[in-house]
């Protein structure tokens, strides 16, 4: 299973995405964006799945 990082403009979007991942049975955790990706503060979701194409279909407001 591969681990991915999804970044978001808002905390709400990250929490919603984490919820959608959990509904699909994927491991998902909301965390701060790693410094290696962004110097700004922000929220991301670390998630694990074998079907990345399915993750692209998840829509968050």
Question: To the nearest whole number, what is the mean pLDDT of the chain?
Answer: 84
**Hey, where are the domains in the chain?**
2-56
Distance CA 46, CA 5 (A): 5
Bridge partners of 29, per DSSP, are 46
pLDDT for 42 equals 85
Question: How many C-beta neighbours within 10 Å does residue 21 have?
Answer: 23
Per-residue pLDDT tens over the stretch 3-22: 999 998 889 999 999 999 99
Distance CA 43, CA 33 (A): 5
Distance CA 54, CA 18 (A): 14
When pLDDT is cut at 50, 70 and 90, the band that residue 1 belongs to is confident
């Amino acid at each position: 299973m591969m681990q991915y990082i999804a970044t978001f403009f808002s905390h709400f979007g990250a929490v919603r995405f984490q919820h959608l991942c959990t509904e699909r049975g994927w491991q998902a955790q909301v965390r701060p964006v790693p410094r290696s990706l962004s110097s700004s503060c922000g929220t991301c979701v670390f998630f694990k799945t074998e079907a990345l194409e399915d993750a692209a279909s998840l829509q968050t407001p």
